[in-house]
C-alpha cells in the first residue's frame, strides 16, 4: 500500500468511502463504527483517517521540501468539505484499538488549514493536534496480549472530523444493567431527549457491533448526526439479555449468541456477588475457595453463628481452620473466613457443598477465640464487627458492601437451551445430597458424575457413626460400626436415585482422608470419646496410631476397600438396596455407576471389581432391566494414567479426578500451596494456577495418553472428567479436544460447562 493510500476518507462529506481491502484492515477503534454507520447511510459527520506511517511520510517529505504526499493529504482534507464548499472547523480524535487512560481527548475547534503547508506544519493547530494524538498512543511495546509489533504501531490511525452542527448528546445502545435495546442512559446521567430517528442508529450499531456501545451524536432540529462510538463493558446479565434479544430480532442466529457469550462472565451470574468494589480496597486477600460474596457480623464460634442465624441475620464465621465440629456453624454462617487451609481444606469442601462463600488461607489473619477477637494485618476485629468477603477472588473488606443476588432469568435459560443443540459432550454435576442434586437438575445437569459417599456423613450424629468405623481397632469392631452406617446410606442412595429419575448417578466408593473426619481440638476429642463410649486416653491412643504424615497420599480410596473389605461390602449393599427402593417408586430405570477411587494398578481394580460383581450378582439386580449397574474407576494418579491400558480392560468407564492428578503430577499439596503459589504467579513461574486451569503440557499429556491407551484396549470405554477443572472454560475446551464423553462439575458450574462445550463443538 502506498503512503498516499494510508490517508483516506472513512465518511466523506459527499458520496461513499469506497475503501480498499487494505484500508478496511486499518480501521480500528472508533473509525470502524464511523465507517460502518456512514456506509449504512446514516447521517455521519465527515471523517478522514491517517496512519502514523503516512503522517511520518508527510513530515519526512516536508523536511525534503517535497510536496507529492501533501497534495494527497490536502485532497483528503477536502473530503470533509460539504455541499456548501465551506471548509469546516475540525476535530482531531484518536482511534485506539483499546480504550486507554493516556489517550488524548478529542481536540475540537481547530480552524481549517489556511494553506497546504499549514496542513502539515506541527506549529499550526491541525498538524499539532494530529502529532499530539499519535504521541498519546505511547511508546510502550508491551500490551496485555504480548509485545506490540512495530508493524502494529505503524498502522495506528488518527481521525480528523468536520465539526458537527447542533447539540452533542451521549447515550448507550443498550441499558447497561438490563440489556434492553436503547437508547439507554450513561452511568449516572439522565437519558437526553433524542429524536425518534436515533432508534435506527441504535439498531444499526447494536447489529454491527454486537455489544453495548457508548454513542456520541449531534442533534439539530430533530436531525441526528453520528460522530463516534466505543464499546463499553456492561454487566454479565445485561450482555446475556442483549445476546438473546439480538436473536429474537434476527440480528444474530442462536448459534451466534452461543458462541459470543463469555462462559466465565456467565459464571458470575450464578452466585451472589459484590455489586461493585469500585474504590474499596480489600484489607486482606486469601484464597477464594468457594465463590460468591457475603456480608455479615463477625462470629468466632459455631454456636454464635447458629445464634445469629436463628435471629435471621447474616454472619461471617472467622476461624483459624474448620473441622467436623464446625459444620453446623458453617451451615448457619453466611460466609466463612479462615486463616489456614486451601481449596481442598475442610472449610473449602464444606463451603462449596453448602454453597457458602468462603475465603481461606488468609495469612495475615490470626484468631484469638479466648479473647473473642481477631487481627487482620494490623487491624483488630471483635465479635459483632462487620466484614464482607468475596469467595470468588479471595478478597476481604471492612464493613458491609452491597451484594447482587444470583439472577438466573429467562435469558440464561434460553441461551443454554440453544447451546444444548450443538453440544455433544454431556454435562453432569458433582452432588451427593438431594438438595444439591435438585440444584444441579435446575441448572440442566444430565446426571451425577460424582457422588462422594463420605460427604453424606457431614452431620453430627452421622459423623459419630463414621468415626466409629474409622477408629475401629479390629474387624468385629469395624463390622459393628459399618452396620450402623448401612441404613443411613441406603436411604441416601434411594433418595438420590429417585431425585435423578432415569439419569445416571455415579457413586464413588468411600474415600475419606482421615484428617478431615477425625476430632482435633481437646473439646472435640472429649465429645467424641463420650459419644463412642471410649476413655479419652484410649481415644487419643487410637488417634495417635492412625495419624498420618501426608493424609493426601495415605490410607484412602481403593486402599480402604482392599484392607477393609467390610466397608466396601456395606456400601455396595446400601447402594443396591437404595437402587431397589428407588426402582419401586418410578417408571424410569435406575442407572447406577460404581466408581473406585485412587487406584494405581490394574490389580487393585480387578480386586474391587470382583467383589463388586459378586455383591451385585448376589443382590439379584444384575439381571434387572429396571436397574442398570456399571463399574469404573477414577483416574487420578500418574501411574493410573500410564497403566490405563491394563485398567481399561476391567472397567466400563474412566473418570479423571483432575484435582488429585494435578497434586501428584506437580507434587503440590493444594492445601499447602498458598505459601508459594502467589509468589510463583508473581514471578511468572506459572502462567495459570494449575488447580484452576488444567496444565495442558503436563497433567494434560497424562490424561490424553490415558485416554489413548484406555480406548486402545477397550473401544467402548466411556470417559469423564470429574475434577474442579470441569467447571473452568479454558480447561473444558482442552477436554473437548480430547474427545471425552462427559464432564462433571459443581452444580453452580453446570451452565458454564454447557455453554463452553457448545462453543467447543461449533
For position 587 contacting a second copy by CB under 8 A, the verdict is: no
Residue with cell 477503534: 29
Site string for a second copy, 434-453 (x = CB under 8 A): --------------------
Q: In whole angstroms, how close is the CB of 459 to a second copy at the nearest point?
A: 24
Q: Which three cell numbers stand for residue 441?
A: 437438575
- Return the number of the residue (85 or 684) whose C-beta is nearest a second copy: 684
Q: In whole angstroms, how close is the CB of 380 to a second copy at the nearest point?
A: 15
Cα–Cα dist 746/387, whole Å: 27
Q: In whole angstroms, how close is the CB of 646 to a second copy at the nearest point?
A: 9
- Return the number of the residue (301 or 603) whose C-beta is nearest a second copy: 603
Do the Cβ atoms of 59 and 53 come closer than 8 Å?
A: no
The correct pick among 144, 378, 683, 715 for binding a second copy (CB under 8 A) is 683
**Of residues 158, 160, 117, 7, the one with CA closest to residue 72:** 7
- Return the number of the residue (621 or 637) whose C-beta is nearest a second copy: 637
For position 643 contacting a second copy by CB under 8 A, the verdict is: yes
For position 685 contacting a second copy by CB under 8 A, the verdict is: yes
Question: SS3 sequence, 516-576?
Answer: HHCCCCHHHHHHHHHHHCCCHHHHHHHHHHHCCCCHHHCCCCHHHHHHCHHHHHHHHHHHH
Q: In whole angstroms, how close is the CB of 666 to a second copy at the nearest point?
A: 5
Q: Which of residues 329-388 bind a second copy (CB under 8 A)?
A: 339-341, 345, 363, 366
103-129 b/e (C-beta count within 10 Å ≥ 16 → b): bbebbeebebbeeeebbbbeebbbbeb
The correct pick among 167, 476, 487, 548 for binding a second copy (CB under 8 A) is 548
For position 528 contacting a second copy by CB under 8 A, the verdict is: no
- Return the number of the residue (593 or 604) whose C-beta is nearest a second copy: 604
Three-state SS for 688? coil
Site string for a second copy, 687-706 (x = CB under 8 A): --------x-xxx-xx----
Q: In whole angstroms, how close is the CB of 665 to a second copy at the nearest point?
A: 5
Other beta carbons within 10 angstroms of residue 166's beta carbon come to 14
Q: In whole angstroms, how close is the CB of 598 to a second copy at the nearest point?
A: 6
Q: In whole angstroms, how close is the CB of 257 to a second copy at the nearest point?
A: 39
Catalytic residue among 212, 271, 309, 346: 346
Site string for a second copy, 602-631 (x = CB under 8 A): -xx--x------------------------
Pairing verdict, β 146-147 and 373-376: unpaired
- Return the number of the residue (487 or 548) whose C-beta is nearest a second copy: 548
- Return the number of the residue (106 or 553) whose C-beta is nearest a second copy: 553
Q: Which of residues 497-516 bind a second copy (CB under 8 A)?
A: 515
Three-state SS for 463? helix
Query: Cβ-count burial of 461 within 10 angstroms (0-12 exposed, 13-18 middle, 19+ buried)?
Result: exposed
Site string for a second copy, 456-485 (x = CB under 8 A): ------------------------------
- Return the number of the residue (250 or 537) whose C-beta is nearest a second copy: 537
Q: In whole angstroms, how close is the CB of 678 to a second copy at the nearest point?
A: 9
- Return the number of the residue (228 or 664) whose C-beta is nearest a second copy: 664
Cα–Cα dist 709/642, whole Å: 8
**DSSP symbol at 732:** H
For position 534 contacting a second copy by CB under 8 A, the verdict is: no
Residues in contact with 670: Cβ distance below 8 Å, sequence separation at least 6, in sequence order: 342, 343, 344, 659, 662, 663, 691
Site string for a second copy, 303-332 (x = CB under 8 A): -----------------x------------
Is 358 considered catalytic here? no
For position 494 contacting a second copy by CB under 8 A, the verdict is: no
Q: In whole angstroms, how close is the CB of 561 to a second copy at the nearest point?
A: 10
Q: Within its chain, how far is the Cα of 191 from the centroid?
A: 33
The correct pick among 94, 414, 506, 663 for binding a second copy (CB under 8 A) is 663
Strands of 293-299's sheet in order across? 284-285, 395-398, 386-390, 293-299, 315-319, 335-338, 358-360, 287-290
Question: SS3 sequence, 603-660?
Answer: HHHHHHHHHHHHHHHHHCCCCCCCEEEEEEEEECCHHHHHCHHHHHCCCCEEEECHHH
Q: Which of residues 66-85 bind a second copy (CB under 8 A)?
A: none
Other beta carbons within 10 angstroms of residue 576's beta carbon come to 23
- Return the number of the residue (44 or 600) whose C-beta is nearest a second copy: 600
Q: In whole angstroms, how close is the CB of 611 to a second copy at the nearest point?
A: 12
Q: In whole angstroms, how close is the CB of 752 to a second copy at the nearest point?
A: 27
Residue 44's φ and ψ, nearest 5 degrees, are -135, 140
Number of residues engaging a second copy in binding (CB under 8 A)? 60
Other beta carbons within 10 angstroms of residue 32's beta carbon come to 19
Name the one range near a second copy by CB under 8 A: 90-98, 383-391, 558-566, 723-731. Answer: 558-566
Is 346 considered catalytic here? yes
- Return the number of the residue (488 or 680) whose C-beta is nearest a second copy: 680
The correct pick among 83, 310, 370, 679 for binding a second copy (CB under 8 A) is 679
The correct pick among 171, 252, 381, 598 for binding a second copy (CB under 8 A) is 598
Residue 452's φ and ψ, nearest 5 degrees, are -80, 95
Do the Cβ atoms of 319 and 326 come closer than 8 Å?
A: yes
Three-state SS for 358? strand
Three-state SS for 289? strand
Cis peptide before 208 (omega within 30 of 0): no
Do the Cβ atoms of 497 and 578 come closer than 8 Å?
A: yes
Residues in contact with 583: Cβ distance below 8 Å, sequence separation at least 6, in sequence order: 497, 589, 590, 624, 626, 627
For position 519 contacting a second copy by CB under 8 A, the verdict is: no
Catalytic residue among 76, 215, 315, 722: 722
For position 521 contacting a second copy by CB under 8 A, the verdict is: no
Residue 691 backbone zone (phi > 0: left; psi -120 to 50: alpha; other: beta): alpha
Cis peptide before 141 (omega within 30 of 0): no
Q: In whole angstroms, how close is the CB of 701 to a second copy at the nearest point?
A: 5
The correct pick among 199, 554, 628, 738 for binding a second copy (CB under 8 A) is 554
For position 235 contacting a second copy by CB under 8 A, the verdict is: no
For position 759 contacting a second copy by CB under 8 A, the verdict is: no
Can you list the alpha helix ranges (DSSP code H) found in 325-474?
327-332, 346-354, 410-422, 434-442, 460-471
The correct pick among 671, 696, 724, 728 for binding a second copy (CB under 8 A) is 671
Residue with cell 513530515: 59
Q: Which residues are catalytic?
A: 346, 722
The residue ranges that bind a second copy (CB under 8 A) are 320, 339-341, 345, 363, 366, 515, 541, 544-555, 559, 562-563, 598, 600-601, 603-604, 607, 636-639, 642-643, 660, 663-669, 671-672, 675-676, 679-680, 683-686, 695, 697-699, 701-702
Amino acid at each position: 500500500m502506498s503512503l498516499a493510500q494510508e490517508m483516506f476518507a472513512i465518511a466523506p462529506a459527499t458520496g461513499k468511502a469506497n475503501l480498499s481491502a487494505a484500508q478496511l484492515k486499518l480501521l480500528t477503534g472508533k473509525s470502524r463504527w464511523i465507517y460502518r454507520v456512514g456506509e449504512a447511510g446514516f447521517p455521519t459527520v465527515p471523517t478522514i483517517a491517517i496512519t502514523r506511517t503516512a503522517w511520518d511520510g508527510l513530515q519526512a517529505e516536508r523536511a525534503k521540501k517535497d510536496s507529492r504526499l501533501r497534495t494527497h493529504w490536502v485532497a483528503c482534507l477536502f473530503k470533509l468539505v460539504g455541499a456548501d464548499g465551506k471548509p469546516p472547523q475540525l476535530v482531531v480524535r484518536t482511534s485506539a484499538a483499546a480504550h486507554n487512560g493516556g489517550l488524548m481527548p478529542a481536540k475540537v475547534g481547530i480552524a481549517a488549514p489556511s494553506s497546504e503547508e499549514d496542513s502539515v506544519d506541527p506549529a499550526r493547530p491541525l498538524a499539532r493536534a494530529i502529532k499530539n494524538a499519535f504521541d498519546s498512543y505511547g511508546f510502550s511495546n508491551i500490551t496485555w496480549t504480548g509485545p506490540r509489533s512495530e508493524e502494529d504501531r505503524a498502522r495506528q490511525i488518527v481521525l480528523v472530523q468536520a465539526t458537527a452542527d447542533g447539540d452533542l448528546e451521549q447515550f448507550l445502545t443498550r441499558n447497561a444493567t438490563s440489556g434492553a435495546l436503547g437508547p439507554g442512559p450513561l452511568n449516572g446521567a439522565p437519558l437526553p431527549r433524542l429524536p425518534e430517528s436515533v432508534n435506527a442508529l441504535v439498531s444499526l450499531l447494536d447489529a454491527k457491533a454486537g455489544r453495548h456501545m457508548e454513542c456520541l451524536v449531534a442533534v439539530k432540529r430533530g436531525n441526528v448526526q453520528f460522530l463516534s462510538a466505543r464499546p463499553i463493558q456492561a454487566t454479565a446479565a445485561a450482555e446475556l439479555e442483549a445476546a438473546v434479544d439480538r436473536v429474537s430480532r434476527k440480528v444474530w442466529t442462536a448459534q451466534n449468541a452461543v458462541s459470543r457469550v463469555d462462559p466465565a462472565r456467565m459464571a458470575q451470574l450464578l452466585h451472589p456477588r459484590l455489586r461493585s468494589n469500585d474504590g474499596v480496597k480489600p484489607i486482606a486477600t486469601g484464597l477464594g475457595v468457594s465463590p460468591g460474596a457475603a456480608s455479615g457480623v463477625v462470629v468466632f464460634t459455631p454456636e454464635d453463628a447458629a445464634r445469629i442465624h436463628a435471629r435471621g441475620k447474616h454472619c461471617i464465621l472467622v476461624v483459624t481452620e474448620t473441622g467436623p465440629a464446625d459444620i453446623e456453624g458453617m451451615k448457619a454462617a453466611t460466609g466463612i473466613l479462615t486463616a489456614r487451609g486451601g481449596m481442598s481444606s475442610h472449610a473449602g469442601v464444606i463451603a462449596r457443598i453448602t454453597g457458602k462463600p468462603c475465603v481461606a488461607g488468609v495469612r495475615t489473619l490470626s484468631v484469638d477465640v479466648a479473647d473473642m477477637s481477631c487481627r487482620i494485618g494490623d487491624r483488630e476485629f471483635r465479635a459483632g464487627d462487620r466484614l464482607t468477603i468475596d469467595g470468588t477472588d479471595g478478597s476481604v473488606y471492612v464493613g458491609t458492601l452491597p451484594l447482587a443476588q444470583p439472577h438466573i432469568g429467562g435469558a440464561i435459560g434460553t441461551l443454554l437451551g440453544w447451546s444444548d443443540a450443538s453440544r455433544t459432550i454431556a454435562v453432569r454435576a458433582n452432588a451427593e445430597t438431594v438438595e444439591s442434586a435438585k440444584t444441579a437438575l435446575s441448572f440442566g445437569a444430565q446426571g451425577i458424575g460424582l457422588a462422594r459417599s463420605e460427604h453424606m456423613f457431614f452431620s453430627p450424629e452421622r459423623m459419630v457413626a463414621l468415626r466409629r468405623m474409622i477408629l475401629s481397632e479390629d474387624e468385629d469392631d469395624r463390622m459393628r460400626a459399618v452396620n450402623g452406617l448401612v441404613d443411613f446410606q441406603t436411604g441416601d442412595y434411594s433418595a438420590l436415585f429417585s431425585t435423578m429419575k432415569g439419569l445416571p448417578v455415579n457413586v464413588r466408593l468411600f474415600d475419606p482422608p482421615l484428617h478431615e473426619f477425625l476430632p482435633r481440638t481437646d473439646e472435640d476429642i472429649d465429645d467424641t470419646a463420650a459419644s463412642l463410649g471410649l476413655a479419652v486416653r484410649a481415644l487419643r491412643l487410637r488417634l495417635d496410631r492412625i495419624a498420618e504424615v501426608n493424609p493426601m497420599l495415605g490410607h484412602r480410596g481403593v486402599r480402604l476397600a482392599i484392607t477393609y473389605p467390610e466397608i466396601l461390602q456395606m456400601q455396595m449393599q446400601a447402594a443396591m438396596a437404595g437402587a431397589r427402593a428407588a426402582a419401586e417408586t418410578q417408571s424410569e430405570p435406575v442407572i447406577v455407576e460404581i466408581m473406585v477411587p485412587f487406584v494405581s494398578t490394574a490389580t487393585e481394580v480387578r480386586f474391587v471389581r470382583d467383589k463388586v460383581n459378586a455383591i451385585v450378582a448376589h443382590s439379584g439386580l444384575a439381571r434387572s432391566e429396571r436397574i442398570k449397574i456399571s463399574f469404573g474407576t477414577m483416574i487420578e494418579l500418574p501411574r493410573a494414567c500410564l497403566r490405563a491400558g491394563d485398567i481399561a480392560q476391567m472397567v466400563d468407564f474412566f473418570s479423571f479426578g483432575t484435582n488429585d492428578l494435578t497434586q501428584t503430577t506437580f507434587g503440590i499439596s493444594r492445601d499447602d500451596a498458598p505459601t508459594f503459589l502467589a509468589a510463583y504467579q508473581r514471578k511468572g513461574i506459572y502462567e495459570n494456577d494449575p488447580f484452576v486451569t488444567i496444565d495442558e503440557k503436563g497433567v494434560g499429556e497424562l490424561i490424553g495418553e490415558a485416554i489413548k491407551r484406555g480406548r486402545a484396549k477397550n473401544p467402548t470405554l466411556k470417559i469423564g472428567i470429574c475434577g474442579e477443572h470441569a467447571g473452568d472454560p479454558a480447561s473444558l475446551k482442552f477436554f473437548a479436544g480430547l474427545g471425552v464423553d462427559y464432564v462433571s462439575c459443581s452444580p453452580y458450574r453446570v451452565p458454564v460447562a454447557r455453554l463452553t462445550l457448545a462453543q467447543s463443538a461449533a
